[in-house]
Structure 1
Amino acid sequence: MELAEKNWYSSWFDTPYYHILYKNRGDEEAQNFMKNLVSFLKLKPGATILDLACGRGRHSRFLNKEGFDVTGVDLSENNIAYAKQFENENLHFATHCMCEPVNEKFDAVFNLFTSIGYFEEEEDNLRTIMSIKEELKPEGFGVIDFMNVKKVIKDLIPEEVKTVKGIEFDISRSVKDGYIVKDIRFEDEGEEHLFTEKVKALTLEGFQEYFEKAGIELLHIFGNYELQDFNEQTSDRLILIFN
């Protein structure tokens, strides 16, 4: 059995199975979120955006089509190799760890779809926040789109089976030592696999502590992709806008 516990994200995100399991993520919802976000931030065509932990670049590609100059970075070499086929004069992709600053300044830095809180070392989460600050132009905006941890824990489904493309994924969820943990077991072509997703259960208060340490001002808090007010009991997302 293949077990990937240490630095789970660097192995799990690089496998084709990650994209099989999550292939039904809604592009329409993601695109509407991007439209709402750039409208709210009043970003003009040609503005520079860093898509931090961009995956295969679905947000980056859409933002580029909307007229923005976009750089997407991700730790997964396979994801970036896939995304590079879409590069153009105003769309670029590179392999990069988000806890280190990109050597460039942007009008906006987006960290989307719960793409922070993966690190084993607590200081790396703070380093990521500080890197975002360093990557922003003086009047730039940082955006973190995270799950609403309190609602996720309240509604946690301990066991679930999903069948996608003929593969039966046996998924178990739990809360351990301040992390939301998802164990994913499946068999394919006679080989058994086990991968673990482990994300720090960061609340609004937790992010506020990071922001205070990093000298960041929190400007707006939203609870969904329509940019409605955040409610810690009912909101699906925790969307933070800061500079």
Structure 2
Amino acid sequence: MTKLDTNWYASWFDTDYYHILYKDRGYQEAQDFMRQLVDFLQLKKEAKILDLACGKGRHSIYLNKLGYTVTGVDLSKNSIEKAKKQEKPGLHFEVHDMCEPYHENFDAVFNLFTSFGYFEKEESNLKTIQAIKANLKPNGYGVIDFMNVEKVIADLVPEETKTVKGIDFHISRWVENGFIFKKIEFEDEGENHEFIERVKALHLEDFKKYFEKANIELKYTFGDYHLHEFNVEKSERLILIFQ
């Protein structure tokens, strides 16, 4: 069995290398998704949104530009430190463990870009779902934007190298014991580095079981950022909207 730090996400996400490797993530696609999502949910401009596992705050910042009061939370102190540089009235960032309820209630709680399923213990996934529910106002919406694991596994690229800012990131991927692993190896300034990402291969039925245990109703399921119908074989994403 593959061994790794059980809190790998805290150490890896806190490095500058994480942000270098993923610097080209689709900002326009993310913004289009946010617009479509808030329109679909019919969120009023005075609505409060919690961006759960916000990273450096790209979604939070854009949601605030759309007129919403946004709180972004993340376990990564480094990411929150960077995000706090963008703070202003109506936009706040804070270090917080998403397994625990935040101290406010919101009209919507967004967990975006596969920021779920990192935990070693199964109970932590359920605790996160329960925490989201605890943070929702009456009739508020929770949203989890996860990968479609069936398609991800079918299309898995076992080995590749990405060169970003002069650093060759050697990436390998595999499936083991119900988790999808990604190992990132690289050398920089004469020092070798290795990090391993691990995300639980959660299917739609797994989420339905969490929701049943948490007494949550799944309202809508979409398969991409344009909110098209979910197709287990073809969809890139698994987007879950619940109350």
Query: Aligned-pair distance for 1:89?
Result: 1.1
Counterpart residue identity of residue 119, structure 1: F
- 2:18 aligned partner: 18
Q: Distance in 2 between matches of 1:7 and 1:182?
A: 15
Q: Distance in 2 between matches of 1:208 and 1:171?
A: 32
- 1:108 aligned partner: 108
Q: Distance in 2 between matches of 1:161 and 1:4?
A: 21
Any idea what SS the aligned residue of 1:67 has? coil
State the 4+ residue runs in structure 1 displaced beyond 6 angstroms: none
Q: TM-score of the superposition, structure 2-length normalised?
A: 0.98
Any idea what SS the aligned residue of 1:227 has? coil
Query: Aligned-pair distance for 1:4?
Result: 5.9
- 8 A Cα contact 1:5 1:195, kept in partner: no
Q: Distance in 1 between matches of 2:150 and 2:60?
A: 29
- 2:179 aligned partner: 179
Q: Distance in 2 between matches of 1:206 and 1:86?
A: 36
- 8 A Cα contact 2:220 2:241, kept in partner: yes
User: Residues 164-243 of structure 1: matches in 2 within 5 Å?
Assistant: 164-243=164-243
Q: Distance in 2 between matches of 1:40 and 1:9?
A: 31
- 8 A Cα contact 1:105 1:137, kept in partner: yes
- 8 A Cα contact 1:4 1:11, kept in partner: no
The C-alpha deviation readout for 1:75-101, integer Å capped at 9, x for no partner, is 000000000011111000000000000
- 8 A Cα contact 1:4 1:12, kept in partner: no
- 1:120 aligned partner: 120
- 1:149 aligned partner: 149
**Structure 1: any 5+ residue segments left out of the alignment?**
none
- 8 A Cα contact 1:80 1:94, kept in partner: yes
Any idea what SS the aligned residue of 1:207 has? helix
The C-alpha deviation readout for 1:177-230, integer Å capped at 9, x for no partner, is 000000000000000000000000000000000000000000000000000000
Query: Aligned-pair distance for 1:6?
Result: 2.7
Counterpart residue identity of residue 232, structure 2: E
Counterpart residue identity of residue 85, structure 2: Q
Q: Distance in 1 between matches of 2:11 and 2:242?
A: 31
Any idea what SS the aligned residue of 2:78 has? helix
Q: TM-score of the superposition, structure 1-length normalised?
A: 0.98
Q: Distance in 2 between matches of 1:123 and 1:147?
A: 20
Query: Aligned-residue CA RMSD in angstroms?
Result: 0.8
Query: Aligned-pair distance for 1:5?
Result: 2.7
Counterpart residue identity of residue 111, structure 1: N
- 1:140 aligned partner: 140
Q: Distance in 1 between matches of 2:64 and 2:24?
A: 22
Any idea what SS the aligned residue of 1:100 has? coil
Any idea what SS the aligned residue of 1:171 has? strand
Query: Aligned-pair distance for 1:103?
Result: 1.1
**Structure 2: any 5+ residue segments left out of the alignment?**
none
Q: Distance in 2 between matches of 1:234 and 1:160?
A: 23
- 2:76 aligned partner: 76
Q: Percent identity?
A: 66
- 2:86 aligned partner: 86
Give the number of aligned pairs.
241
Q: Distance in 2 between matches of 1:163 and 1:56?
A: 22
Any idea what SS the aligned residue of 1:239 has? strand
